[in-house]
Amino acid sequence: MNVLLKTSLIASLFSLVFAPLAIAGNGAPSGAHYTVNFIGHPNLAECDGDPEYCESILGGNAAYSGGSALFVPLVTSKSPGNGKSGKTTLCTDPDDGLQTEFIDEEGPTFQTEEPDGKTRIYFEPTTDGSFEIVDRIADKDGATIQVPVTDDANRYIMLDLFIRVLGKPGTCAEITGYAEETVDTTQLWWYSGSILLDRESGRSTFEKATDIFSVAYCEVEWVDTDGDLAGDTWQCVDGSETELSVFNDIFDQYFWEFLNNGTRLIQARFYPRSDYPG
């Protein structure tokens, strides 16, 4: 991104008045934005621990440059499918008409088992207004994107996310958001939504998916009804449900689990945000 565009975006983020953005024919707003191109690469796993080889197969333009590319495996160890979304027809239903779909959580949803997808995109919050792809290679340690958040207790992301799938028809991917919390000595992973990407023939348009950066949350307690801990678990405290940013200080970290089945290009655009919850 050039300096002029970056300066324009940062200025917009801190402006007290936001002008509404017009929606273009591709489904995305017009105006200054950051772009992240998620590129599926067939040899990405071979990069682990060998920066020089990674540079050679990915190319100097993208591997360690300031460009917009972020590399993910072309085929991940865990495939898109049921997941949190409940959709079972990814890559198999060319007539459903949904190429990009955001599925939000329905009430507080957490798990005590760590998500088992090996490809992750971590998001680091910053209050200085900056946006940067810090690590653009989603190898075993994951890639990292730095995003601006509000400098208050809410820590809302200051950008709206629009995303679409491009490339060869018949491929698919699934992105699932998780915010990690430590309760006593127990790790909880809070589900924040899924983005389903099912590339079909024809025009692919952007879908808004900003809500993947918020989570339906509740205070939890260990419920032991029979006195021996057998079969009991963490449950929500009645009346404690609320909506939180995934960058709230309650959470240790936030990441996307990225599952890919042949998709070579997913395009994300981040625009200055003009509205916040509450």
Mean pLDDT for the stretch of residues 249-260:
96
The 10 Å CB-count burial string (b at 16+, else e) for 149-166 is bbeeeebbbbbbbbbbbe
Query: Tokens 């200080």 label which residue?
Result: 249
pLDDT of residue 9: 39
Query: Tokens 């809302």 label which residue?
Result: 156
CB atoms within 10 A of CB 114: 10
Q: HEC profile for the chain?
A: CCHHHHHHHHHHHCCCCCCCCCECCCCCECCCCEEEEEEEECCHHHHCCCHHHHHHHHCCCCCCCCCCEEEEECECCCCCCCCCCCCCCCCCCCCCCCCEEEECCCCCCEECCCCCCCCEEEEEEECCCCCEEEECECCCCCEEEEEEECCCCCCCECEEEEEEEECCCCCEEEEEEEEEEEECCEEEEEEEEEEEEECCCCCCCCEECHHHHEEEECCEEEECCCCCCCCCEEEECCCCCEEEECCCCCCCEEEEEEEEEECCEEEEEEEECCCCCC
Characterize the bridge pairing of strands 207-208 and 186-198.
Answer: unpaired
Q: What angle do CA 144, 63, 150 make, to 5 degrees?
A: 25
Q: What is the rounded CA–CA span in Å between residue 193 and residue 191?
A: 6
Lowest mean pLDDT among 15-29, 36-50, 150-164, 220-234: 15-29
What pLDDT digit, counting tens, does each position of 149-186 carry? 999 999 999 999 999 999 888 899 999 999 999 998 89
What pLDDT digit, counting tens, does each position of 180-219 carry? 999 988 999 999 999 999 888 888 899 999 999 999 999 9
Q: What is the rounded CA–CA span in Å between residue 116 and residue 18?
A: 40
pLDDT of residue 218: 97
Characterize the bridge pairing of strands 159-166 and 186-198.
Answer: unpaired
Percent of the chain with pLDDT over 90: 53
Characterize the bridge pairing of strands 110-111 and 186-198.
Answer: antiparallel
